[in-house]
Amino acid sequence: MNAITSRFWLLLVAALAIVMTSSASAESLGNAEPDLKVAPTIIDRFTPEDVTETPDFQKHVIPLMSRMGCNGRSCHGSFQGRGGFILSLFGYDFKADHAAITTGEEPRVDLESPDESLIIFKPTDEDMHEGGQVYELGSWEHRVLKNWIKAGAKFDESQVAILDRLEVTPEEIVFSDKDQTQQLTAIAVWADGSREDVTPLCRFTTNDDQVANIDRDGLVSSNESGDTHVVVAYDKAVIAVPVLRPVSQLIGESYPDVPAPTKVDQLVVQKLRKMGIVPSDLTSDEQFLRRVSLDIAGTLPTPSEIRAFNADSNPDKRAQKIDQLLETPAYVAKMTTLLCDITGNNDQQLVNVSPMRVGPAQEWYDWIYDRVEKNTPYDQIAEGIILARSRLEGESYREYCEEMSDMYREGDSFADRKYMTHYWARREFRQPEERAIAFAYAFMGVRIQCAQCHKHPFDVWSKNDFDEFKTFFTGARFAAQPPRNDRDAFDEYQAMLDNLDIDKTLRGNQQRREFAKQLQKGKTVPFPELVVTPVRSNAVRNAKNKKDRGLASRSPEARVLGEEAIDLRDYEDVREPVMEWLRGKDNPYFARAIVNRVWATYFSAGIVNPTDDLSLGNPPSNAPLLDYLAEQFVAHDYDLKWLHREIANSRTYQLSWVPNETNRFDTRNFSRAVPRRLPAEVAYDIIQQATAGDETIGTYLSDIDKRAIAIPGTRLTGNSSYPLQIFGRSERASNCDCDRSMEATLLQTVFLQNDFSLHSAIGSNQSWVGEVGRSMKPQIDKKSTQEQQIQAQIKRLYEQLGNGRDAILRLTENGNKQRAYEIRQKVTAGRKRLEKLRNQLDELKTEAKQKPVEEVAFDSPAEMVEEAYLRTLSRKPSEKEMTISLSHFQEAKDPVAGLHDLMWALLNTKEFIVNH
C-alpha cells in the first residue's frame, strides 16, 4: 500500500468515527429528558410592584396561608376556627377553604375593593388581628393575595391540579460542624409538565431540633452531632431529607475495618460509616445467651445451660442456640402475645361471641398460637383474620351451628377453625371508621386517625382517602342471628329456636345461658356469626334498611390509599381487594410493619420509631435496612422464623452494650446493644423462674401453662395481676403500641424491694432457697416436733400461773377464801406440770445437740453464691462480688438467711430487670 492510499484510509476511518460519534450524541440527546424551564419562586415573581400575574388558589394562595400560619392548629385551622373563620387544617380541603374565604355573611374577600378584603387589611393590622401582624402592606405576600382577589378570587374544583412529585435538593445533608447551614430547594412538578420553585410555599419541620433546625424558608442549620430528618410538605407531597453530622473524624477512608458478616451488618455499618460511629465489640457468651433467651423466649437460661454453653467450643453454637429457642413453646407464646397485642385481643371488648361461658380471648390466643407454632406464613395468619367469616363457602347456617355445637360439646379447639372471627366481634370495632383506624394500626403500622378529619400532616392520606378506605370495612358485621334478608339462614335459626326447650321470650344473657344448658344436653343451638354482605349493583338502601341491616351505606367504588378505583361489585367480600393490596410486591406497609415491630423486640427501638407510625414524615433511621428485611421477608414467604434468625444471627444484634467514645450516645443506629426494660410478662416470669426450685427452673421453656407470656387476653387475676400492671403490660385499649409501657417507675422499685409476693417467691418452701434450707437443716423428726409442742405448753402454763396468782390476790382481798384456796391448789398442780415439761425439754435439746447437721446441697458458701448469680444475672460473680457475698454470709445468722438476702439483692439490681 503506497503513502497516498494509506492517508486515504486513515482519513476515511477518522471521518466514520466522527459520523458515528455525532450520531450517538444525537441519539442520546433525543432520548434524554429536555431541560424544562423552572418557574422562579413566588417571592421573585411578586416582589416587583408592577407584577400582573394571577396566582393559583391551590398552588399559591393556600400554601401561602399555610406559611403564614393561618390554617394552623392554633389559628383558623382548629376545629372551632377563630373569629368565625374556619379553614381546613394545613389547607388541604381546597373546596371548603375557598368557600370559607369567598362566601358567607361576611366573606373574607372584597372583589370590588381588594385592599378592603378581610384577608388583607386584618392580618396587616397588629391591633385588629388577634394573631398580630402577619405580613405588611406592599409586601410580596400582599401582592399575591391582592392579585388573586383582583382576578376574581377563583377556584375551579373540576380543574384541580395534580402534583406529580416534589423534587427536594439536596437529597441528603451532611454537616461537619455546628452552626453550619444548607438551603433546601423544592421544585413542584405538575402533571401537565410544568415546574415551579415552591420553596417559599412549603411547610418545613425537623424531627430532632437537637441535631438540626429549619426555618420557614427551608434553611437548615446544624446543632449537635447525630442524625435526623427535616420534612418538607407541599400540596399532597411529603419529603424527608436526612441530615447528618458525624460524631467523629472516622468517616470515609478513615473509618476502620469493621466485620460485617451478614447483609444486616453491612447495611448497618454503611450508615455508621457516614456517622463516624464505630460499633462496640461482640458481647460475651454469657451475655449473648441471656439476651437471646429473653428476647426470643422470654426465659432465663438455667445455670446448667450457661455452663454447657460456655464450655462449648463449636463456632456455630450461637446460631444453634437461636434455632433451639425458636423451637420452644416459650417462643411461640411470646410471639403469640405480640400478635395479640397488635390485633387487640381484649376480654372487655369481646361480648356475645358465644353462648358458652368460655373465654373468647383464650380462643383468640389459641388460634394465633396454633399458627405460630406451625410457623404459618404471616400473610396467611393475617388473611385468616382479615377475611374471617363464620360460615365457609357452601355451608348453611344450620351446618355452621352444628359444627360449633359439636366443637364446644366435645371440647375441640377453636384453633382448628379456618378463620379467627373474634377480631371483628369487638365492641369498639363496629363502625367503619373504627375498623379503618384499627386495621391500619394492626396490619400497616400506620396512624391514619388524623385523616378522619383532615389531611394527614405528615403523610399522603387525605380525608377523602380515609373515607374511601373505610368503605372496605362496611360489608362485615358480627350478628346474634342471621339477617332477615338471608331467608334460608333466618328460617334455620327460627327452627333451631323452636326445637329448644326454652322460654321463647328470653333475650340477651338469659337466652345465652339457656343455650348453654341446651348445648350440654346434646342440642344444636344458634351461634352468633360474622356476616359478610357484598355490594349489589342494584342495592337501594334507605335509612330504615340501613338500620335493619346494621350496615353503613356503601359506594360501589373505593380506592386503597390513592390506588386505582376498585369496583366493589366485583367482589363477594369487599375486604378481598385490601388483602390483595397488602400482599402486593410494592406495598409500603404490610411487611415493613411486622418487620419493624419484630426488630424492636430485639433492640431498644424500631428502625421506624414509634413502631406504629410508618409515615413519610417519620422515615426509618436506616431505610436500606428496613427495605432489605421487608423484601426478603416477603421473598421467604413471610416466614417469621426466618425473620427472627436473620436479626438474631447478625453481628449487630450480638454487639456488647459497653459503649466506646463514638457510640456512647447512639440510640438509633444500632452500633451497640442498648440496655432496655423487659416486657412486663417477661419481668414477672423471670422473677418466678430465678427463685424456683431445681426441678422447676428448667421447665420454663417448655411448660407455659402458668407463665405470664401465655396469658391470653387482658383480664388479670391472682398474684400476677399487680406486678404485670405496674411493669406496663399492654392493656390493648387503643390503637397504639404505647399501650405497653417500657418505662421504669417508682412502683416497680417498691415492688422489687418490699412486696410480700416477691419475698414469698424467694423464701417459700417450694423455692430454691427453701430447698437449700431444707437440705442444710436436720430432718424434722418426732422429737423435734415434740420439742415445739412442749415449748408451746410451757408458754401457756406460764400465762395460766400468772393469771392464777392475780386471781388469788384479788379473791383474798375480797374475803372469798374458799375460791382462793381452790385456785391455789390448781396453781400448785400447774407448777408441778411445768417442772415436768422443763425436764422433757432439756432431754430433747440434749439429743438434738448430739445429732450432726447434714449439708447436702453445696460443699461451700462460694458455690451457693455462684449458683445465685447464674440463676439471676446469668453469669458468675466477679472476685469483688464473691468477697462481698461471702462476707455477708459470715455475718448472717445462718447460710440460708444469707442466701435469702443475696437473692433479694440480685433481684433488685438493674442488671436483672433489664436486657443487655
Burial class (CB within 10 angstroms; exposed 0-12, middle 13-18, buried 19+) of 471: buried
CA-wise closest residue to 887 among 875, 877, 872, 876: 877
Q: What is the pLDDT of residue 131?
A: 64
Q: Which of 154-168, 183-197, 831-845 has the lowest mean pLDDT?
A: 831-845
Q: What is the pLDDT of residue 533?
A: 84
Mean pLDDT of 465-472: 82
* C-alpha span between 591 and 633 (Å, rounded): 7
Contact 306, 704 (CB under 8 A): no
Q: Look up residue 486 and give its three cell numbers.
A: 338471608
User: Per residue in 76-107, pLDDT tens?
Assistant: 655 565 666 766 666 677 787 777 788 877 88
Q: What is the pLDDT of residue 23?
A: 38
Q: How far is CA 887 from CA 389, 769, 892, in A?
A: 66, 19, 9
Q: Which of 155-169, 457-471, 612-626 has the lowest mean pLDDT?
A: 457-471
Q: What is the pLDDT of residue 538?
A: 41
Of residues 737 and 80, more confidently modeled: 737
Q: What is the pLDDT of residue 31?
A: 39
Q: Which of 114-128, 327-341, 401-415, 873-887 has the lowest mean pLDDT?
A: 114-128
Q: Which stretch, 9-23, 388-402, 638-652, 744-758, has highest mean pLDDT?
A: 638-652
* C-alpha span between 706 and 681 (Å, rounded): 11
Mean pLDDT of 170-183: 96
- 676 forms beta bridges with 915
Q: What is the pLDDT of residue 774?
A: 81
User: Omega before 315 cis (within 30°)?
Assistant: no
Using the predicted structure, report yes or no on whether residue 6 has a pLDDT greater than 50: no
Share above pLDDT 70 across residues of the chain, in percent, rounded to a whole number: 85
Q: What is the pLDDT of residue 88?
A: 66
Burial class (CB within 10 angstroms; exposed 0-12, middle 13-18, buried 19+) of 440: buried
Mean pLDDT of 32-59: 84
- 212 forms beta bridges with 222
Of residues 87 and 219, more confidently modeled: 219
CA-wise closest residue to 77 among 88, 93, 85: 88
User: Cα 197 from chain centroid?
Assistant: 39
What is the enclosing helix (H) or strand (E) of 485? Answer: none
* C-alpha span between 177 and 93 (Å, rounded): 41
CA-wise closest residue to 855 among 896, 885, 890: 896
* C-alpha span between 244 and 621 (Å, rounded): 11
CA torsion, ordered 548, 553, 556, 558, to nearest 10 deg: -130
Q: What is the pLDDT of residue 292?
A: 98
Of residues 895 and 223, more confidently modeled: 223
* C-alpha span between 475 and 535 (Å, rounded): 8
Q: Which stretch, 1-5, 320-324, 746-750, has highest mean pLDDT?
A: 320-324
CA-wise closest residue to 43 among 190, 146, 144: 144
Q: Which stretch, 397-401, 602-606, 631-635, 762-766, has highest mean pLDDT?
A: 631-635
* C-alpha span between 866 and 890 (Å, rounded): 16
The mean pLDDT value of the chain amounts to: 84
Of residues 17 and 515, more confidently modeled: 515
Banded model confidence at residue 543, pLDDT cuts 50, 70, 90: very low
Q: What is the pLDDT of residue 720?
A: 87
Using the predicted structure, report yes or no on whether residue 423 has a pLDDT greater than 90: yes
Q: What is the pLDDT of residue 545?
A: 47
Q: How far is CA 519 from CA 604, 632, 745, in A?
A: 50, 48, 48
Beta sheet of 237-245, edge-to-edge order: 173-174, 237-245, 226-234, 203-206
Q: What is the CATH number of domain 163-245?
A: 2.60.40.1080
Q: What is the pLDDT of residue 106?
A: 80
Beta sheet of 185-190, edge-to-edge order: 38-39, 195-197, 185-190, 163-169
Q: How far is CA 876 from CA 290, 871, 906, in A?
A: 13, 10, 12
- How many C-beta neighbours within 10 Å does residue 751 have? 18
Banded model confidence at residue 136, pLDDT cuts 50, 70, 90: confident
Mean pLDDT of 310-335: 97
Share above pLDDT 90 across residues of the chain, in percent, rounded to a whole number: 49
User: Per residue in 248-298, pLDDT tens?
Assistant: 999 989 999 999 999 999 999 999 999 999 999 999 999 999 999 999 999
Ramachandran angles phi, psi of 238, nearest 5°: -135, 120
Of residues 127 and 186, more confidently modeled: 186
User: Per residue in 339-396, pLDDT tens?
Assistant: 999 999 998 888 778 776 668 999 999 999 999 999 999 999 999 999 999 999 889 9
Sorted by where each begins, the domain ranges of the chain are 1-32, 39-159, 163-245, 380-456+470-589, 744-775+858-916, 782-850
Distant-in-sequence, close-in-space partners of 875: CB < 8 Å, separation ≥ 6: 284, 286, 287, 290, 306, 869
Q: What is the pLDDT of residue 860?
A: 79
Q: What is the pLDDT of residue 548?
A: 43
Q: What is the pLDDT of residue 782?
A: 46
Mean pLDDT of 715-741: 88
Mean pLDDT of 749-758: 89
Using the predicted structure, report yes or no on whether residue 546 has a pLDDT greater than 60: no
* C-alpha span between 753 and 92 (Å, rounded): 55
Q: Look up residue 636 and give its three cell numbers.
A: 421467604
Q: Look up residue 36 and give its three cell numbers.
A: 424544562
**Three-class SS of residue 756?**
helix
Using the predicted structure, report yes or no on whether residue 634 has a pLDDT greater than 60: yes
* C-alpha span between 492 and 475 (Å, rounded): 22
Tell me the angle at which helices 590-602 and 329-343 cross, rounded to the nearest 10 degrees. 130
